[in-house]
Amino acid sequence: MSETRTDISELGEFGIIDQLTKGIELRNASSILGVGDDAAVIDAGNDEFLLVSTDALIEGVHFNLMYMPLKHLGYKAVAVNVSDICAMNGKAEQITVSIAVSNRFSLEALEELYAGIKLACTEYEVDLVGGDTTSSISGLMLSITAIGRVKKEEVVYRSGAKEFDLLVVSGDLGGAYMGLQLLEREKDVFKSNPAIQPDLDGHDYIMQRQLKPEARVDVVKYLKELGVKPTSMIDISDGLASEVLHLCKASQVGCHVYDEKIPIDAKTSMTAIDFNLDPSTCALNGGEDYELLFTIKQSDFEIIQSNPNFSIIGHMTNAADGTYFVDKNGSAVTLKAQGWKHF
C-alpha cells in the first residue's frame, strides 16, 4: 500500500472509478464491455447481449427517511436500475435485491419497502430473482442489480456520437432537484418547530419527480416504433451537464448545448424562482430526472423535431472545438458539471 494519502473527495465519484478500474482487462470473450457505460455488456451466445447494471442507495447519502416513504424508496431503487438498462436501448428482465438493515427497522417497515420493490417489478415487467439480506450498524442500504437484454444490432453505447449529430432529451428536467429542495426546506422547518405542518400544496409534480421517478421504458419502445436508433445514449442521474460531458468524453466529440432549448416544466421553473435559483442551472446540475439523453443522425431530424416527447437541445462538434453552453443571449461558456457529489 502506498504511503501517499489522497483524499477521495478530491477525485469525486468518477475520478475514483477511473483510478480504481485503471488497468483492468477483460479476459473472457463473452465480456463485450465492462466499466464505463450505463451497463456492462455480455455476449449471450445468440443474437442478443445481456446487460447488467448495479446501483447502491445509502441512507443519509442518497435518501432521507424523514421524508422518503419506504414504499417510494423501494420503487425508486428499482426504477433507477431499470433506467440504466433503458440507456443501453435494452429491456430489463430480472433484478436482485441486497439490503443491509439495522435493528431500528421492524418487519412491517421492511415489508413496506418490499411493497414498493414489488410494485416496480409489476410496472416494469421484471422478475425479482434473488439477493442478500444482512445487518447494518448504521441505517439502511440497498443494492440492486438489474439484468436485461438487447438485440446485438440495437445496443447503444455512450461512445457512438459523431460530429454534427443532434443532442436530444426526453421529457423535462430539473423537477427532481426542485422536489428535493422543497422537501429539505420543509424538513428544516419541521425540525425547528414540529407543530408546523409541511406546506406542499401545488407541488405534486416535482414531489413525484423526486420521490417516485420513472424509468423511460416508453421512450425506448417509442424510438423503435419511429425507426430511430440513437447513435449514443445515457440516462440523466447526475444532471444534464454531467451526462452531456460523459457522452462527449466517451465519443471523443465536443458539443453546443442551448439554454433556450432545455425543456423545463412551468411548475419546476416557478419553484426554482421562489427559491432564488436559476431554472436552467437546476436542469443542468440537479440530477435524478432519469430522462434519456441521446444523439441522433441529422437524417432523423424531421422525425424528432416536431415530436412533443423530445427536445433537440444542441449538437455535437469536433472535439477540438470544446464543450459549450450557449445562454439565452447567445454567449457561449464552457460547459461544466457541478451535479451530485457523493464524496
Beta-strand relationship, 127-135 and 91-101: parallel
Of 118, 151, 184, the position where a domain reaches its end is 151
176, 238 Cβ separation under 8 angstroms: no
Give mean pLDDT, residues 85-114: 97
- Give buried/exposed letters for 273-303 (b at 16+ CB in 10 A, else e): eeeebebbbbbbbbbbbbbbbbbbeeebeee
**Amino acid 120: pLDDT:** 98
Q: Determine the structural domain holding residue 54 and report its residue range.
A: 8-151
Give mean pLDDT, residues 200-210: 93
Give mean pLDDT, residues 176-198: 91
Give mean pLDDT, residues 83-95: 98
Indicate whether 199 and 278 sit together in one domain: yes
The CATH number that applies at residue 85 is 3.30.1330.10
**Amino acid 343: pLDDT:** 45
**Amino acid 101: pLDDT:** 96
pLDDT at 317 over 90: yes
pLDDT at 339 over 90: no
Indicate whether 125 and 255 sit together in one domain: no
Indicate whether 240 and 200 sit together in one domain: yes
Which residue, 262, 82, 272, is CA-closest to 172? 262
pTM of the model: 0.93
Give mean pLDDT, residues 184-208: 89
Indicate whether 174 and 265 sit together in one domain: yes
More confident residue, 141 or 24: 141
198, 205 Cβ separation under 8 angstroms: no
Return d(Cα 241, Cα 294) in angstroms, integer.
13
The tens digit of pLDDT for each residue in 230-280 reads 999 999 999 999 999 999 999 999 999 999 999 999 999 999 999 999 999
Of 123, 151, 179, the position where a domain reaches its end is 151
The CATH number that applies at residue 174 is 3.90.650.10
Indicate whether 178 and 288 sit together in one domain: yes
Indicate whether 233 and 187 sit together in one domain: yes
Q: Of all residues in the chain, what percent carry a pLDDT higher than 70?
A: 95
For 253, the grid coordinates are: 466529440
